[in-house]
Chain A
Amino acid sequence: SAVISQKPSRDICQRGTSLTIQCQVDSQVTMMFWYRQQPGQSLTLIATANQGSEATYESGFVIDKFPISRPNLTFSTLTVSNMSPEDSSIYLCSVRNSGAGNTIYFGEGSWLTVV
């Protein structure tokens, strides 16, 4: 399995600011994803992070609000822009392991509270 490290693990942010979350994987992976999990809720896919090109966003999520970078096969960032209290969530990096079928692993998550 892939080891996924996310930073920060937890943060309290001021309304109107932006925060960038980093995701580092210990091996090259074919696909990286970003999910959001609001308090007490299930996981919702934000976007697929594509290496060297623009991310593919799911319905309801836009690049201006959640810009994503993926400069190589082991690293990605998600920025939550112009935050409001409604953005208080766990943001999870997820990867699909190369050569392991559709096995998909998750990081520990970044817990953001917007005040």
Chain B
Amino acid sequence: QQQVKQSPQSLIVQKGGISIINCAYENTAFDYFPWYQQFPGKGPALLIAIRPDVSEKKEGRFTISFNKSAKQFSLHIMDSQPGDSATYFCAASIGETSGSRLTFGEGTQLTVNP
């Protein structure tokens, strides 16, 4: 599987602050970039996703920024809340030709302090 590198490994943010998690990929054939949120004891839940034909997608407090030339994408959580404390995974897939198999980043453990 092609690599997706994620940073930082852990992140501590104060309530109301902005959380930023970055990912970089190698395979330019990737055409779908989702972010998943995972709470302890739960399966990953789809948070937001982007395709490479747009540079930014916003859903509520969550924004994905995508830089195709740099092969990087990032998740921004505005006005971070203690309830956002979870592990976040970026991922990438190629789509139909590869059967939509996801390659995941290493994960970022986010802690939002009250």
State the B residues within 8 Å of A (CB).
1, 31-32, 34, 36, 41-46, 49, 89, 93, 95, 99-107
Interface residues of A in 21-71 (CB under 8 A from B): 31, 33, 41-45, 48, 56, 58-59
Q: Is the interface of A mostly helix, strand, loop or mixed?
A: strand
B43 close to A31 (CB less than 8 A): no
Interface residues of A in 57-115 (CB under 8 A from B): 58-59, 92, 94, 96, 101-109, 111
A58 close to B100 (CB less than 8 A): no
CA distance A105 to B43 in the complex (A): 9
CA distance A109 to B106 in the complex (A): 18
Nearest-neighbour CB distance to chain B for A55, whole angstroms, equals 11
Residues of B within 8 A of A104 (CB): 34, 46, 93, 100, 102
Q: Count A-side interface residues using an 8 Å CB cutoff.
A: 26
B46 close to A43 (CB less than 8 A): no
27 A-B pairs (CB sep. < 8 Å): A1-B46, A4-B43, A33-B102, A41-B106, A42-B89, A42-B104, A42-B107, A43-B89, A43-B104, A44-B104, A45-B101, A48-B99, A56-B99, A58-B1, A59-B1, A92-B44, A96-B100, A101-B32, A102-B31, A102-B49, A102-B95, A102-B100, A104-B102, A105-B46, A106-B44, A106-B45, A108-B43
